[in-house]
Amino acid sequence: MIAFVSGGARSGKSRFAEQLARDWHRQSGGKRYYLATARVADDEMADRIARHRRERGEGWITLEEPRLLDEALDSVEPGSTLLLDCLTLWASQWLFGSGFSEAEGERMLAALLGKVRQNTIGLVVVSNDINEDLPPADPETWRYLAFLQGRHRQLATEADRVVEVVAGVPLDWKGMAER
Amino acid sequence: MQLFIGGACAGKQEAVKSRFPEASWCRLVPGRPLDIWREQAMLGTTLVVTGWLPWLEEALRSETDDDALYLMLVEELQALPEAERKDALDVVLILPEVGRGIVPMAAGDRRLRDLVGRLGQEAVAHAARVWYVRHGLVQGLGQPGNTGDSR
């Protein structure tokens, strides 16, 4: 099972995604993993990561991988549940922190989703909605937005469930029958 | 008239193309009259009108009266359903959602954002069906029974 959860900043998307991952884990057994894409760049980011970790509570095996998400999956036991938080940071690190191309990003995400299906992993992906503002004026930000949106569409196509979170309230876009 | 609205790179064009593969497309040209769509409106066909944001951006540079520009938009939006009736035309509008970010620092950006929002509301008032596109998925908005298909 694959779920894609997105929303605005501090919309409650991570909390909802964590609960969904807990529910899936309770149903399917296996281990429960948290794949963090964030890198500690400054004190604010360190505080943010610590807060998320506190809010998640116990029982998570934390993996950290800012770029090669499909390789991180090699550490995840088949039949487990994996929460990936978040795709927004991964996208910036992929494009600007590594020099990978958009096409390579699409292929990497496809490989990740393929491995998830193959190993019967319950995957919940969290990302930010950033595309309903005035379009960015500079080409590099446009490039980032287009890349991230491409991955969002890729995920929405592949996912069994797609959820938008608004002020903590989940709005189902796909797969409501699985609720 | 149908309206497809959504953020940048949300998949609006793909959603429209998949539903109206035979439609002709009119992309508004910044600096040229708004009713350029009339040149491409053919009897009994579907016409997709897009390119509103760059057109408005340019229009705001030459027109300092936002309300006058808005009234021009209202007139054009009234003309579209009239053309549908008169010429057995089906019109599909594609509009961007640009109002969910931080209030822009630049006055010109604030004017643009406001005008696009007002245009969206006015377009909804004239549209028989409204579709919200998000990450390539589509949901119907507003009308009873118009629950969308999330494709």
ipTM: 0.88
| CATH class of the A2-178 domain in this structure | alpha beta
Residue B27 in any domain: the answer is yes
Amino acid sitting at position A136: P
Amino acid sitting at position B16: V
Mean per-residue pLDDT for B59-84? 95
* Separation between Cα atoms, residue A164 and residue B21, nearest integer Å: 29
pLDDT band at B149 (very low <50, low <70, confident <90, very high): low
Mean per-residue pLDDT for A5-12? 94
Rg of chain B in Å (alpha carbons):
15
CATH number at residue B123: 3.40.50.300
B107 touches chain A (CB under 8 A): no
Give the residue with greater pLDDT, A98 vs A77: A77
Share the mean pLDDT of chain A.
Answer: 93
What whole-number percentage of chain A has pLDDT above 90? Answer: 83
Asked if residues A158 and A2 have their Cβ atoms less than 8 Å apart, the reply is yes
Return the pLDDT at B145.
Answer: 46
Return the pLDDT at A50.
Answer: 80
Instruction: Reply yes or no on whether A152 is catalytic.
Output: no
Mean per-residue pLDDT for A53-76? 89
Return the pLDDT at A40.
Answer: 75
Residue A167 neighbours by CB under 8 Å, 6+ apart: A11, A12
User: Is the pLDDT at A1 greater than 50, yes or no?
Assistant: yes
Domain residues for the domain of B121 are 2-141
User: Is the pLDDT at B99 greater than 60, yes or no?
Assistant: yes
- Asked if A162 and B150 come within 8 Å (Cβ–Cβ), the reply is yes
For A127, the closest chain B residue by CA position comes to B135
- The model's pTM is 0.91
Give the residue with greater pLDDT, A19 vs A45: A19
Return the pLDDT at A174.
Answer: 96
User: Is the pLDDT at B146 greater than 50, yes or no?
Assistant: no
B137 touches chain A (CB under 8 A): yes
Mean per-residue pLDDT for A141-146? 96
Return the pLDDT at A178.
Answer: 43
Report pLDDT digits (tens) over B33-67: 999 998 888 888 999 999 999 999 999 999 999 99
Q: Is the dihedral of CA A70, A74, A77, A83 positive or negative?
A: negative
Interface test with A, best of B135, B139, B141, B151 (most A CBs within 10 A): B135
CB interface of B with A, residues 78-97, below 8 Å: 96-97
Return the pLDDT at A15.
Answer: 94
Give me the number of domains chain B comprises. Answer: 1
Return the pLDDT at B12.
Answer: 98
- Asked if B98 and A152 come within 8 Å (Cβ–Cβ), the reply is no
Q: Which of A52, A67, A143, A174 is catalytic?
A: A52
B112 touches chain A (CB under 8 A): yes
- Asked if A174 and B150 come within 8 Å (Cβ–Cβ), the reply is yes
